[in-house]
Structure 1
Amino acid sequence: MLGKTQEWLANQAKITPAVVIGLESAKRKLPDNHALSQVKGVLEANGLELLEAAEARGEGVRWKEPTNKTWVDCLRHGRAMLGISLDEMAARSGVGKYAIARLERGNQKRLPEQSAERLRDVLFENGVVILPEDRSHGAGVCMRPKLRQLPPL
C-alpha cells in the first residue's frame, strides 16, 4: 500500500530482504517475532494500521487516517492479499487484464464502475473485503471472517 519495495522495507526494518520475502511467503512455518515487530513498526510509522482478526472481519491493513482514497484504490491490494496474478484475476472476473491494470494504477478519466464492481465481487467471493474510508480511518483491505461451519446432519 505504501508503494515501496521489499528492499526498502528490509532496510527500514533493519532486516535482510530474504527475511522480508520469508515473512511474505504463504509457505512459512513460524515467523521470526522480532522481524515481524520490526516490519510492523515501519508500516505503522508510515501511516498504516494492521488489523487483527475479529468476529466481524479477518486480518487486514488500512490507512490509519483518511487519505481521500476510494475503495477502487484498494483493488490491487486485495488481489495481492490473495496472491493472484493479473491473468488469474482476468480469468476469474471476465475483465481484461489491461483494464484491470489501468484500474489498479488509477489512471482513468472515467471509472468503469461495472468492471470495478465485478473485481470487488471476485475479491469478496475469494475471501477479501475492501474497507471503505470513513471519517476516522482510511481505506484498506481485510480477509472475510471465517464462517462457522455447521456440523453435518
Structure 2
Amino acid sequence: MLGLKQSDLASKAMITRSVLLGLEQPGRKHPDQLALSKLRDAFRAEGLMFVDANENMGEGVRWAKPSGRVWVDSLRYARVMLGYTLDELSEKSGVGRYVIARLESTERKRINEQSARRLRDVLFDQGVVMLDEEAEVGAGVRLRAGFGRSA
C-alpha cells in the first residue's frame, strides 16, 4: 500500500532486507518478534494501521486517517492480499487484464463502474472485503471470517 521497495521498507523498520524476506516466507516457523514489532512501527509511521481479526471478520490493513480515497483505490491491495496476478484475477472475474490495471492505477481518469463492482464481488467471494473510508479511518482491505489465518 505504501509502494515501497523491500530495501526501503527494511531501512524504515531498521531491519535487514534478509530479515524482511524471512518474515515474508509462508513456511517460517517462529518469526522474530522484535523484527515484527519494528515493521509494525514502520507501517504505523507511514500512516497504515492493522485491523485485528474478530469473530465476524478476518485481519486486514487500512489507512489510519481519511484521505479521500475511494474503495476502488484498494483493488490492487485486495488482489495482492489473495496473491493473485492480474491474469489470475482477470480469469476469475471475466474482467480484462487491461481494465483491471487501469482501475488499479492511481492516475486513472474514470472508473468503469460495472467492472469495478464485478471485481469487488469476485474478491469478496474469494475472501477479501473492501473497507470504505469512514469518518475517523481511511479505506483498506480485510479478510472475511473463515479465510486466511483468522480461520
Where structure 2 has 5 or more consecutive residues not aligned to the other structure, the ranges are none
Question: Could you say what the CA RMSD is over the residues aligned between the two structures, in angstroms?
Answer: 1.3
Which secondary structure state, in structure 2, belongs to the residue aligned with residue 59 of structure 1? strand
Per the alignment, residue 150 of structure 1 pairs with: none
Provide the C-alpha distance between the structure 2 equivalents of 1:28 and 1:78, rounded to a whole number of angstroms: 23
Provide the C-alpha distance between the structure 2 equivalents of 1:21 and 1:119, rounded to a whole number of angstroms: 30
Q: Would you say how many aligned residue pairs link Structure 1 and Structure 2? A: 147
AA of the residue aligned to 1:78: A
Which secondary structure state, in structure 1, belongs to the residue aligned with residue 142 of structure 2? strand
Which secondary structure state, in structure 1, belongs to the residue aligned with residue 57 of structure 2? coil
Provide the C-alpha distance between the structure 1 equivalents of 2:86 and 2:24, rounded to a whole number of angstroms: 19
AA of the residue aligned to 1:100: I
Per the alignment, residue 119 of structure 2 pairs with: 119
Provide the C-alpha distance between the structure 2 equivalents of 1:9 and 1:53, rounded to a whole number of angstroms: 24
Provide the C-alpha distance between the structure 2 equivalents of 1:48 and 1:108, rounded to a whole number of angstroms: 23
> How far does residue 130 in structure 1 lie from its aligned partner after superposition?
0.5
> How far does residue 46 in structure 1 lie from its aligned partner after superposition?
1.0
Task: Report the TM-score when normalising by structure 2.
Answer: 0.92
Task: Report the TM-score when normalising by structure 1.
Answer: 0.91
AA of the residue aligned to 2:63: W
AA of the residue aligned to 1:13: A
AA of the residue aligned to 1:30: H
Segments of 4+ moved more than 3 angstroms: none
AA of the residue aligned to 1:98: Y
AA of the residue aligned to 1:80: V
Per the alignment, residue 7 of structure 2 pairs with: 7
Which secondary structure state, in structure 2, belongs to the residue aligned with residue 50 of structure 1? strand
1:49-78 residue CA offsets vs partner (Å, 9 max, x unmatched):
111111221111001110100000000000
AA of the residue aligned to 2:50: L
Where in structure 2 are the equivalents of 1:92-131 lying within 5 Å?
92-131=92-131
Provide the C-alpha distance between the structure 2 equivalents of 1:22 and 1:144, rounded to a whole number of angstroms: 26
Which secondary structure state, in structure 1, belongs to the residue aligned with residue 39 of structure 2? helix
Where in structure 2 are the equivalents of 1:25-104 lying within 5 Å?
25-104=25-104
> How far does residue 99 in structure 1 lie from its aligned partner after superposition?
1.1
